[in-house]
Amino acid sequence: MNAYEEYMKEITQPMRDELTEAGFQELTTPEEVSEFMSQNEEPALVVVNSICGCAAGLARPAIVASLESPQRPNQLVTVFAGQDREATAAMREYFDVEPSSPSMAIVKNGQLQHFIPRENIEDHEVEEIVNQLTQAYQTYC
């Protein structure tokens, strides 16, 4: 690992921890993504994490808050755009939507059920994003 990669790993670790401490499993390789999606039988929340400000100030806080909902996915996974590039690209192949980070998706049986792109995160309040997520949970979980 070169100095830049080491620096970025150190910088992004708290951003990763915010989700893993909330119960998310990180998928860091295309093989992990493929294995997860091939075994995905119940609704799962997939978060495409990002280093940007709207991920830090809006997406991750909203995601964590949404997990308080009594009706939510039991499976929680994340890929990190710009860091785990191959894993992120592999996950996006299942979405069939424009790449967007941060973003959130609900998948079931390896199929995209619902997608919240960056445009529905950026310039929105945390509460609005929580509402988007909890409505999706009620519909798909």
Domains annotated for the chain, with CATH where assigned, are 47-140 (3.40.30.10)
**Helix or strand or coil: residue 45?**
strand
Instruction: Say if CB 83 and CB 95 are below 8 A apart.
Output: no
Cut 0.85: pTM above it: yes
Percent pLDDT > 70 in the chain is 100
Catalytic residues: 52, 54
Are the C-beta atoms of 119 and 99 separated by less than 8 Å? no
In the 8-state DSSP scheme, what is residue 24?
Answer: P
List phi, psi (to 5°) of 32: -65, -40
Residue 43's pLDDT is what? Answer: 97
Residues 61-76 pLDDT 10s: 999 999 999 999 999 9
**Amino acid 9: pLDDT:** 84
Single-letter residue type at 116: I
Read off the pLDDT of residues 3-33 as tens digits, 9 standing for 90 and up.
988 888 889 999 999 999 999 999 999 999 9
